[in-house]
């Protein structure tokens, strides 16, 4: 009996490790994998503050650091509701990383158009409309929305983030494992990024 119990807990442990690794491998990222600075953003696609971060801060980070190979950016899904979860699923429906980030951009830019009301069927149609504009097919998106695997990976990312970083609000920004919450300010993040870049001798 004790051996069976030990085997049971060992199986559960390995199961959790597997899904943790699987979730980590599905995180959307852009920028050099060799970058010394990593910016992780935990956000919900229905969160207005997250949309503000993406349009006001991310674009500047991309131009100043990501496109120059100095920073790696990671988008970590932290859906606060079913609409945000479904939007994340559609983003991951895209065939490559570039298209995924284009979809992510559009989800934030058009957030006030689709993230409205409580009728999830209507919201799904509005989300899919954005996907159609970026060459996803309706059949493909319907299959993605029906996939429990896609939802499980996203929800597991949220669980892992909650455990590791104690996420209490979105967006939460982590720069080289230093946590930031509250007001979104580009200059604050820029200061921390450049401090790390100086540390590694990448800028003076």
Which whole number is the average pLDDT over 87-91? 97
Which whole number is the average pLDDT over 153-160? 93
Whether 16 is in a domain gets the answer no
Whether 6 is in a domain gets the answer no
Which whole number is the average pLDDT over 74-87? 97
Whether 22 is in a domain gets the answer no
pLDDT at 52: 94
Mind listing the pLDDT tens digit for each residue in 10-24? 433 333 443 333 444
Phi, psi angles (nearest 5°) of residue 24: -60, -40
CA 26 remoteness from chain centre: 9
Phi-psi region of 39 (alpha: psi -120 to 50; beta: other; left: phi over 0): beta
Which whole number is the average pLDDT over 51-80? 96
pLDDT at 99 exceeding the cut of 70: yes
Whether 13 is in a domain gets the answer no
Residue numbers of the domain that contains 151: 28-199
H-run or E-run covering 74: strand 71-77
Mind listing the pLDDT tens digit for each residue in 168-177? 999 999 999 9
CA 189 remoteness from chain centre: 18
Task: Tally the domains of the chain.
Answer: 1
pLDDT at 181: 84
Share of the chain above pLDDT 70, in %: 88
Mind listing the pLDDT tens digit for each residue in 132-147? 999 999 999 999 999 9
Whether 169 is in a domain gets the answer yes
Whether 43 is in a domain gets the answer yes
* CB neighbours of residue 115 within 10 Å: 22
Whether 112 is in a domain gets the answer yes
Tell me which residue of 11, 65, 75 sits closest to 45, measured CA to CA: 75
Residue 67's domain is classified under what CATH number?
3.40.30.10
Mind listing the pLDDT tens digit for each residue in 56-68? 999 999 999 999 9
Which whole number is the average pLDDT over 31-59? 96
Whether 183 is in a domain gets the answer yes
Q: Using the structure block, give the residue that is written with the tokens 């990976």.
A: 153
Compute the C-alpha angle 156/160/163, nearest 5°. 140
pLDDT at 2 exceeding the cut of 80: no
Q: Which two tokens stand for residue 194?
A: 């450049």
Please report, for residues 3, 15, 87, 101, 177, the alpha-carbon distance to residue 81 in angstroms, rounded to integers and kept in the order given. Answer: 41, 26, 10, 21, 26
The answer to whether 44 touches 167, Cβ cutoff 8 Å, is no
């Amino acid at each position: 009996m004790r051996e069976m119990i030990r085997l049971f807990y060992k199986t559960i442990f390995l199961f959790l490790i597997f899904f943790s690794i699987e979730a980590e491998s599905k995180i959307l990222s852009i920028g050099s994998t060799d970058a010394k600075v990593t910016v992780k953003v935990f956000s919900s696609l229905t969160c207005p503050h997250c949309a503000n971060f993406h349009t006001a801060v991310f674009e500047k980070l991309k131009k100043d650091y990501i496109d120059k190979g100095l920073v790696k950016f990671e988008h970590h899904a932290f859906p606060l509701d079913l609409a945000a979860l479904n939007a994340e699923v559609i983003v991951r429906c895209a065939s490559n990383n570039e298209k995924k980030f284009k979809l992510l951009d559009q989800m934030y830019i058009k957030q006030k158009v689709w993230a409205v009301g409580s009728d999830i069927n209507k919201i799904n149609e509005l989300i899919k409309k954005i996907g159609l504009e970026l060459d996803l097919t309706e059949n493909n998106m319907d299959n993605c929305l029906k996939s429990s695997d896609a939802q499980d990976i996203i929800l597991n990312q949220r669980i892992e983030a909650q455990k590791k970083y104690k996420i209490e609000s979105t967006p939460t920004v982590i720069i080289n494992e230093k946590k930031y919450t509250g007001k979104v300010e580009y200059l604050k993040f820029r200061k921390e990024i450049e401090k790390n870049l100086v540390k590694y001798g990448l800028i003076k």
